[in-house]
Amino acid sequence: MPLQKRPPQEAKPLQLVEITIALKATQLLQTRVASQFGDDGVVEGEAKMAATATKTTTDRRWRA
């Protein structure tokens, strides 16, 4: 029996506004942190280090 696709649900205008506000707030925070360090690369580097640390921690849990 083939699966039937449901029609896509459209986002309500209020949801779109909330998403837009959240995205703008995130961008502002990233810009503010980057300006404190004086370099956008520092923020990217920290994000990569955090992602690597998280992955390593997860890997250790699976190996144990």
For residue 48, the one-letter residue type is K
> What does pTM read for this prediction?
0.36
Question: Which of 25, 24, 44, 26 minimizes the C-alpha distance to 34?
Answer: 44
Helix axes 13-37, 40-63, angle to 10 degrees: 110
Q: Residue 43's CB: how many other CB atoms inside 10 A? A: 16
pLDDT band of 25, cuts 50, 70, 90: confident
* pLDDT for residue 64: 47
Question: Which of 24, 49, 46, 51 minimizes the C-alpha distance to 36?
Answer: 46
